[in-house]
Structure 1
Amino acid sequence: MPFDHNDHYHPLLLRQVPRNSRTALDVGCGTGRFARRLAASGIAVDAIDPAEEAIAEARRPTRATPSAPRPRFRCADVTEIELPAGHYDFISCLASIHHVPFDTVAGLRDALAPGGVLVILGCHPEHTPLDWAYSLAAVPINAAARLVVAAKERRGGRAGAPEPATTAPVRPPTMPLPLIRREAAALLPGCTVRRLLFWRYLLVYRARG
């Protein structure tokens, strides 16, 4: 079914972008869907991912918006490159921070311009009764959302359309949400961590301006 949990939260993430943002970095961009949405708002976007096949797919022109502003896609591992200090107005990580050590967020923090915002749409495993409660609540909502999106696809005449040729590699998360909260509080003072449905959490950190 054509329903993606990360795509579902794109509008929520875009609402965190500071006004008058000029530069953004999308970490673990995969095939580039969120990076392209950022670029469409007029922001100069750097988008990185260590998977060569994902970057190759991201660089392919899209039929829907062939003339839209395009991110600068680069095959790179965020743990192995030096990010420009104090440069980005907005940094996003969608379901990618669990692929690297969590303290990688310190480098992202330092790459934020004054007043810049770091947003992490993260994944976490079920470890507590509350985790399991949210998971159980998500199951019927997830099924209903898949049916709704599939119905819209059929009405739009796109039923049976081929899936993207490439998807970004995935890895199951291992860091439980209570530990994420503790680590985030130490590395990103003043950040907020909000539990979401669909096995996700939202972390928002704003650099001092």
Structure 2
Amino acid sequence: MALSYNDHYHPLLLKQVPYGARTVLDVGCGTGRFARLLARQGLDVEAVDADADVIEAARAAGGGPRYRQADVRQAQLPDSHYDFISCIASLHHVPFDTVLTLRKALAPGGVLAVLGLYPIRTATDLAWALPALSLLRANQLLERRRPGPSVQAPIAWPPPLTYAETRAESARLLPGSTLRRLLFWRYLLIYRA
């Protein structure tokens, strides 16, 4: 199986689930790996993705979450409902202001956790990307020797917002949120309702 930079951050994301959480929304769930991890924690997980093929693959894998094919922008999410909302490498597929819809769906004390991507545009971006680029090349060599999964979520590259633009938009739309740069050209955005 190919190396997944998103899966690498699942333990970090699980640590963001607030104590006492019950209801979870996983946005852009893909084939459902993280949604299943959340369900194994005893959480009531709803997982959405706009891609029919990955939702079908997620349903076939089972594991407890309720999967739904939907564009989160038109999903009519209930207000103040979810204790935890996760977006793993999915927010850059929609306008960033979609976070307002997610913010409205958070229950009081709920947490929005976004593992997002940013393009490499500055010297700092490049410095953070160099270790990942080396691993990516090694992984590409290994992938030639073994088949990958038959169904994969679509890839959108480059992401539309730079790290600096993401920081500015987060501060504007999610006051009090934190943004942290991670390896593998990713960031962790945390907002607590």
Superposition TM-score tier, normalisation by shorter sequence = over 0.9
Provide, for residues 92-137 of structure 1, a one-character-per-residue CA deviation record: whole Å limited to 9, x for no partner: 0000000000000001001000100000000110111100111123
Aligned to 2:189: 203
Provide, for residues 79-98 of structure 1, a one-character-per-residue CA deviation record: whole Å limited to 9, x for no partner: 11211000000000000000
For residue 43 of structure 1, what is the amino acid of its counterpart? Answer: L
For residue 178 of structure 2, what is the amino acid of its counterpart? Answer: T
Q: Distance in 1 between matches of 2:52 and 2:61?
A: 16
Aligned to 2:98: 104
**C-alpha displacement of 1:139:** 2.6
For the aligned residue pairs, the C-alpha RMSD in angstroms reads 1.8
For residue 57 of structure 2, what is the amino acid of its counterpart? Answer: E
Q: Distance in 1 between matches of 2:134 and 2:66?
A: 38
Provide, for residues 59-92 of structure 1, a one-character-per-residue CA deviation record: whole Å limited to 9, x for no partner: 0036xxxxx5x10000000111211000000000
- Residue 131 (structure 2) aligned to one of 128, 137, 149: 137
Aligned to 2:4: 4
- Point out the structure with max Rg over C-alpha: 1
State the SS of the aligned residue for 2:60: coil
- Residue 168 (structure 1) aligned to one of 153, 159, 170: 153
Structure 2 spans left out of the alignment, 5+ residues: none
**C-alpha displacement of 1:2:** 2.5
State the SS of the aligned residue for 1:204: strand
User: What count of residue pairs does the alignment treat as equivalent?
Assistant: 189
> Equivalences for 1:49-198 in 2 at 5 Å?
49-61=49-61, 68=63, 70-142=64-136, 146=139, 163-172=148-157, 173-198=159-184
- TM-score w.r.t. length of structure 1: 0.85
State the SS of the aligned residue for 1:114: strand
Checking the alignment, whether the CA contact within 8 Å between 1:48 and 1:74 is kept in structure 2 is: yes
**C-alpha displacement of 1:49:** 0.3
- TM-score w.r.t. length of structure 2: 0.92
% identity of equivalent residues:
56
Checking the alignment, whether the CA contact within 8 Å between 1:49 and 1:76 is kept in structure 2 is: yes
